[in-house]
């Protein structure tokens, strides 16, 4: 039987310092998912990770390590206010909307609202893209190497963790998970085929 409190302390220890600052591990025995990290919204500072420790205990320790590192890296990779064109357009749209409201210009209000909405949609899509998932896997492998794993072993453990999670949740792998598995197999030396860059940049 897995000791919940000891496991939480161990998981916090393997996290990068930045992850420990904002990640809150919460036991949720009634959820059907092994681990669940809701998409972080911009006004939430802390980012909770919910774990069904009964299902979690069915994974090997290396699988749990890599799965946690990957989850924390995914959460850290969601950035709403990273300076870029989309953020600039969103800010401009909000500022322009305020000005047009003061001017009571209906056409201007509609135009600036549309501009802001398009920019915010682009930010949302970039944070939900499959590239974010692949980048989180790669970052997790990098951190795992600082925790004593080799890159190939870490990739193999994360690869098997993805399959074990789906099995314990009684479901098939999603399309994004299949893409991740293909990339991890290449890193683990199990397949010569990686993920084409053009596919990595697509949104799914």
For residue 148, what pLDDT is reported? 96
Residue 194: is its pLDDT beyond 50? no
For residue 191, what pLDDT is reported? 59
pLDDT digits (tens, 9 = 90+) for 36-79: 998 877 666 678 999 999 999 999 999 999 999 999 999 988 76
Query: For all residues of the chain together, what is the average pLDDT?
Result: 79
For residue 90, what pLDDT is reported? 44
In whole angstroms, give the CA distance from residue 165 to residue 67. Answer: 9
Q: How many residues does the chain have?
A: 204
Run of H or E including 48: strand 47-51
DSSP-derived pairing of the beta strands 35-36 and 47-51: antiparallel
- The larger pLDDT score, comparing residue 21 to residue 161, is at 161
Run of H or E including 35: strand 35-36
For residue 122, what pLDDT is reported? 56
Residue 165: is its pLDDT beyond 80? yes
pTM as predicted:
0.73
Residue 192: is its pLDDT beyond 70? no
Report the pLDDT averaged over residues 110-139.
Answer: 66
- The larger pLDDT score, comparing residue 59 to residue 201, is at 59
Residue 128: is its pLDDT beyond 70? no
């Amino acid at each position: 039987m897995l000791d919940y409190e000891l496991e939480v302390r161990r998981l916090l220890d393997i996290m990068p310092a930045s992850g420990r600052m904002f990640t809150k591990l919460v036991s949720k025995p009634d959820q059907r998912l092994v681990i669940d990290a809701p998409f972080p919204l911009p006004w939430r500072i802390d980012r909770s990770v919910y774990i069904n420790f009964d299902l979690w205990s069915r994974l090997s320790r290396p699988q749990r390590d890599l799965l946690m590192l990957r989850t924390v890296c995914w959460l850290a990779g969601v950035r709403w206010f990273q300076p870029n064109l989309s953020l600039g357009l969103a800010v401009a749209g909000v500022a322009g909307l305020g000005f047009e409201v003061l001017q009571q210009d209906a056409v201007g209000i509609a135009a600036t609202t549309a501009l802001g909405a398009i920019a915010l949609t682009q930010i949302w899509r970039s944070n939900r893209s499959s590239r974010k998932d692949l980048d989180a896997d790669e970052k997790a492998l990098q951190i795992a190497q600082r925790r004593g794993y080799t890159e190939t072993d870490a990739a193999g453990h994360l690869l098997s963790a993805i399959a074990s999670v789906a099995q314990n949740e009684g479901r098939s792998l999603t399309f994004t998970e299949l893409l991740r598995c293909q990339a991890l197999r290449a890193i683990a030396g199990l397949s010569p085929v990686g993920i084409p860059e053009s596919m990595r940049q697509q949104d799914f």
